[in-house]
Amino acid sequence: MPEPRLSRRAFLTYLLGLAGALGVAGLLAPIIRYAYPVAKAQVLPKQKVGQKSALTPAGDALYFDYEEAPAVLILLKDNTPKAFYLACTHFGCITKWQVNDQIFFCPCHGGKFAPDGKVLAGPPPKPLVELKVVADGDTLYVEGTV
Protein backbone atom coordinates (compact mmCIF):
# COMPACT_ATOMS: atom_id res chain seq x y z
CA MET A 1 0.00 0.00 0.00
CA PRO A 2 1.48 3.37 -1.00
CA GLU A 3 2.14 5.89 1.76
CA PRO A 4 -0.09 9.01 1.65
CA ARG A 5 1.64 12.13 0.38
CA LEU A 6 0.15 14.30 3.12
CA SER A 7 -0.06 13.14 6.71
CA ARG A 8 -3.12 13.76 8.81
CA ARG A 9 -1.15 16.10 11.04
CA ALA A 10 0.05 18.18 8.08
CA PHE A 11 -3.47 18.28 6.61
CA LEU A 12 -4.96 19.48 9.90
CA THR A 13 -2.18 22.07 10.27
CA TYR A 14 -2.95 23.46 6.79
CA LEU A 15 -6.68 23.42 7.51
CA LEU A 16 -6.20 25.26 10.81
CA GLY A 17 -3.92 27.81 9.13
CA LEU A 18 -6.50 28.43 6.39
CA ALA A 19 -9.29 28.89 8.95
CA GLY A 20 -7.14 31.32 10.92
CA ALA A 21 -6.25 33.32 7.79
CA LEU A 22 -9.94 33.56 6.81
CA GLY A 23 -10.84 34.69 10.34
CA VAL A 24 -8.19 37.42 10.34
CA ALA A 25 -9.28 38.55 6.85
CA GLY A 26 -12.89 38.71 8.06
CA LEU A 27 -11.88 40.93 10.97
CA LEU A 28 -9.65 43.23 8.91
CA ALA A 29 -11.93 43.72 5.88
CA PRO A 30 -14.39 46.17 7.56
CA ILE A 31 -11.52 48.14 9.09
CA ILE A 32 -9.77 48.49 5.74
CA ARG A 33 -13.04 49.41 4.00
CA TYR A 34 -13.68 52.10 6.63
CA ALA A 35 -10.16 53.50 6.38
CA TYR A 36 -10.08 53.55 2.58
CA PRO A 37 -13.61 54.14 1.23
CA VAL A 38 -14.20 53.76 -2.47
CA ALA A 39 -14.87 57.08 -4.19
CA LYS A 40 -17.91 56.86 -6.43
CA ALA A 41 -18.82 59.22 -9.22
CA GLN A 42 -21.91 61.16 -8.17
CA VAL A 43 -23.76 61.37 -11.48
CA LEU A 44 -27.30 60.93 -10.21
CA PRO A 45 -30.47 61.63 -12.18
CA LYS A 46 -32.88 64.51 -11.64
CA GLN A 47 -36.08 63.27 -10.01
CA LYS A 48 -39.35 65.10 -9.40
CA VAL A 49 -40.30 65.04 -5.73
CA GLY A 50 -43.37 67.22 -5.36
CA GLN A 51 -44.83 70.70 -4.99
CA LYS A 52 -43.39 73.25 -2.58
CA SER A 53 -46.90 74.52 -1.86
CA ALA A 54 -47.76 71.07 -0.43
CA LEU A 55 -45.26 71.60 2.41
CA THR A 56 -45.26 74.05 5.30
CA PRO A 57 -42.35 75.12 7.51
CA ALA A 58 -44.32 73.79 10.47
CA GLY A 59 -42.75 70.38 9.89
CA ASP A 60 -44.50 68.69 6.99
CA ALA A 61 -42.32 66.08 5.34
CA LEU A 62 -42.53 64.51 1.91
CA TYR A 63 -41.04 61.00 1.85
CA PHE A 64 -39.72 59.49 -1.37
CA ASP A 65 -37.13 57.01 -2.67
CA TYR A 66 -34.10 58.34 -4.50
CA GLU A 67 -31.78 55.84 -6.15
CA GLU A 68 -33.57 53.04 -4.27
CA ALA A 69 -32.87 54.64 -0.87
CA PRO A 70 -35.39 56.32 1.45
CA ALA A 71 -35.23 60.11 1.50
CA VAL A 72 -37.25 63.04 2.79
CA LEU A 73 -37.95 66.62 1.72
CA ILE A 74 -38.77 69.24 4.37
CA LEU A 75 -39.06 73.02 4.55
CA LEU A 76 -36.91 74.85 7.06
CA LYS A 77 -38.44 77.70 9.08
CA ASP A 78 -37.00 80.20 6.58
CA ASN A 79 -39.00 78.41 3.83
CA THR A 80 -35.88 76.79 2.31
CA PRO A 81 -36.46 73.26 0.98
CA LYS A 82 -33.99 70.61 2.16
CA ALA A 83 -33.76 66.96 1.17
CA PHE A 84 -31.79 64.20 2.89
CA TYR A 85 -31.19 60.48 2.66
CA LEU A 86 -32.76 59.00 5.78
CA ALA A 87 -29.88 56.59 6.48
CA CYS A 88 -28.09 57.46 9.73
CA THR A 89 -24.38 58.08 9.24
CA HIS A 90 -23.57 55.87 12.25
CA PHE A 91 -24.72 52.42 11.13
CA GLY A 92 -27.23 53.15 8.37
CA CYS A 93 -30.45 52.77 10.35
CA ILE A 94 -33.38 54.73 8.92
CA THR A 95 -33.98 57.97 10.81
CA LYS A 96 -37.45 59.31 11.54
CA TRP A 97 -38.53 62.95 11.16
CA GLN A 98 -40.04 64.07 14.47
CA VAL A 99 -42.51 66.84 13.59
CA ASN A 100 -43.09 68.03 17.17
CA ASP A 101 -39.38 68.23 18.05
CA GLN A 102 -38.23 69.32 14.57
CA ILE A 103 -35.39 66.77 14.53
CA PHE A 104 -34.40 63.59 12.75
CA PHE A 105 -34.14 60.75 15.29
CA CYS A 106 -32.28 57.47 14.80
CA PRO A 107 -34.00 54.72 16.81
CA CYS A 108 -31.00 52.36 16.76
CA HIS A 109 -28.55 54.29 18.95
CA GLY A 110 -30.32 57.55 19.81
CA GLY A 111 -28.67 59.79 17.24
CA LYS A 112 -30.34 63.18 16.68
CA PHE A 113 -29.98 65.47 13.69
CA ALA A 114 -31.10 69.10 13.25
CA PRO A 115 -33.46 70.04 10.39
CA ASP A 116 -30.40 71.08 8.38
CA GLY A 117 -28.93 67.57 8.83
CA LYS A 118 -26.21 68.44 11.37
CA VAL A 119 -25.55 66.08 14.28
CA LEU A 120 -27.13 67.23 17.55
CA ALA A 121 -26.52 64.20 19.79
CA GLY A 122 -25.53 60.57 19.84
CA PRO A 123 -22.88 58.55 18.06
CA PRO A 124 -23.27 59.63 14.40
CA PRO A 125 -19.89 60.90 13.13
CA LYS A 126 -21.21 63.00 10.24
CA PRO A 127 -24.36 64.92 9.23
CA LEU A 128 -27.09 63.32 7.14
CA VAL A 129 -26.29 63.11 3.44
CA GLU A 130 -27.98 66.12 1.83
CA LEU A 131 -29.54 65.96 -1.61
CA LYS A 132 -29.41 68.91 -3.98
CA VAL A 133 -32.89 70.46 -4.30
CA VAL A 134 -33.72 72.21 -7.58
CA ALA A 135 -36.85 74.35 -7.82
CA ASP A 136 -38.67 74.93 -11.09
CA GLY A 137 -41.53 77.22 -10.13
CA ASP A 138 -43.52 75.36 -7.48
CA THR A 139 -42.14 71.96 -8.50
CA LEU A 140 -39.20 70.58 -6.54
CA TYR A 141 -36.64 68.12 -7.87
CA VAL A 142 -33.63 66.39 -6.34
CA GLU A 143 -30.47 65.95 -8.35
CA GLY A 144 -27.53 64.21 -6.72
CA THR A 145 -25.91 65.08 -3.42
CA VAL A 146 -24.61 68.39 -2.15
pLDDT in tens, 38-76: 665 556 788 999 888 888 776 788 999 998 899 999 988
For the entire predicted model, the pTM comes to 0.68
> Nearest CA to 95 among 80, 114, 108, 81?
108
Does residue 3 surpass a pLDDT of 80?
no
Homologous superfamily in CATH for domain 46-145: Rieske [2Fe-2S] iron-sulphur domain (2.102.10.10)
Rg (CA), the chain: 24
For the chain, the structural domain boundaries read 1-39, 46-145
How far is Cα 6 from Cα 98, in angstroms, rounded to an integer?
65
SS3 47: strand
Does residue 8 surpass a pLDDT of 60?
yes
Q: State the pLDDT at residue 111.
A: 92
In the structure, what pLDDT confidence band is assigned to residue 100 with cuts at 50, 70 and 90?
Answer: confident
Question: Strand order in 112-113's β-sheet?
Answer: 96-98, 103-105, 112-113, 119-121
Q: Phi-psi category of 97—alpha, beta or left, where left has phi over 0 and alpha has psi -120 to 50?
A: beta
